């Protein structure tokens, strides 16, 4: 068994299985990237709920692992050189899990970088734009009388969805013929847009053909379906 006692985060979220990857998160669009990748890769893991509604990502134990105070994060007892290794930022974790498992990334160099390209596209574009749209459409920002901020993010999110639409016009998945971290990075955000954020009309989602079909294919995967529920939200 690996000794994780040197990591303060384990005092707040003790490891019951210290030989497994410890995942700290919540089923948000960023959090489910990790839970889905863990399910799809088959890597053994243990999930810990970090309740962001109770500001648990800002307590000292969590900040000791992720100084940025955001979910998700992982602690791998068998990291590089066999030593425990902590990692945060969802895109970096996706790459790490794919390389560790030998799955979810094309084997050839060109395909690998193509997949990384789409992960970076989501991290720098779709995620931030959709998140801001959610704030201005569903959360506190919806009470702002000036709708220009909301409309700005709606317009840019709609544009990004059409980038996806074009990409998926002649392929099943974003890169090559296999499901990869490129798909995992974006699917939670698209699902949230039309579901939790209730912003489908704002981004003209009903005008799309290939993106909805891609999302349906992804959601039909057992690993995706399970990953979307881990860790269970508080009652």
The pLDDT tens digits of the residues spanning 115-161 come to 999 999 999 999 999 999 999 999 989 999 999 999 999 999 999 99
pLDDT band at 233 (very low <50, low <70, confident <90, very high): confident
Give the model's pLDDT for residue 26.
97
The tokens of 174 are what? 């974003």
pLDDT band at 176 (very low <50, low <70, confident <90, very high): confident
Give the model's pLDDT for residue 1.
65
Count other Cβ atoms within 10 Å, centred on residue 221.
16
Q: Does pLDDT of 114 surpass 70?
A: yes
Contact 136, 153 (CB under 8 A): yes
Give the model's pLDDT for residue 109.
96
**Structural domains of the chain, ranges and CATH numbers in brackets:** 9-103 (3.40.30.10), 109-221 (1.20.1050.10)
What confidence tens digit (pLDDT) does each residue in 32-90 have?
Answer: 999 999 999 999 999 999 999 999 999 999 999 999 999 999 999 999 999 999 999 99
Distance (Å, whole) CA 15 – CA 105: 29
Q: Point out which residues pair with 21 in neighbouring strands.
A: 45
Burial of 151 (0-12, 13-18, 19+ CB in 10 A): middle
pLDDT band at 193 (very low <50, low <70, confident <90, very high): very high
Average pLDDT of every residue of the chain: 96
pTM of the predicted structure, to 2 decimals: 0.96
pLDDT band at 15 (very low <50, low <70, confident <90, very high): very high
């Amino acid at each position: 068994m690996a000794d994780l006692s040197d990591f303060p985060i384990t005092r707040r979220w003790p490891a019951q299985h210290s030989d497994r990857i410890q995942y700290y998160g919540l089923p948000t669009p960023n959090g489910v990237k990790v839970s889905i990748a863990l399910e799809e890769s088959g890597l053994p893991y243990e999930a810990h709920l970090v309740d962001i509604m109770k500001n648990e990502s800002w307590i000292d134990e969590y900040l000791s692992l992720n100084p940025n105070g955001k979910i998700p994060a992982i602690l791998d007892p068998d990291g590089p050189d066999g030593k425990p290794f902590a990692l945060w930022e969802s895109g970096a974790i996706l790459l790490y899990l794919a390389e560790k498992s030998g799955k979810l990334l094309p084997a050839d160099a060109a395909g690998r970088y193509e997949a990384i390209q789409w992960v970076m596209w989501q991290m720098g574009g779709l995620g931030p734009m959709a998140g801001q749209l959610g704030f201005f459409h569903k959360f506190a920002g919806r009470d702002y009388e000036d709708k220009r901020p909301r409309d700005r993010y709606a317009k840019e999110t709609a544009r990004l969805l059409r980038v996806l639409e074009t990409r998926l016009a002649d392929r099943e998945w974003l890169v090559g013929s296999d499901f990869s971290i490129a798909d995992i990075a974006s699917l939670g955000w698209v699902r949230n847009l039309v579901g939790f954020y209730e912003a489908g009309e704002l981004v003209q989602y009903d005008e799309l053909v290939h993106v909805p079909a891609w999302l349906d294919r992804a959601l039909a995967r057992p690993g995706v379906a399970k990953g979307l529920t881990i860790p269970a939200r508080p009652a």
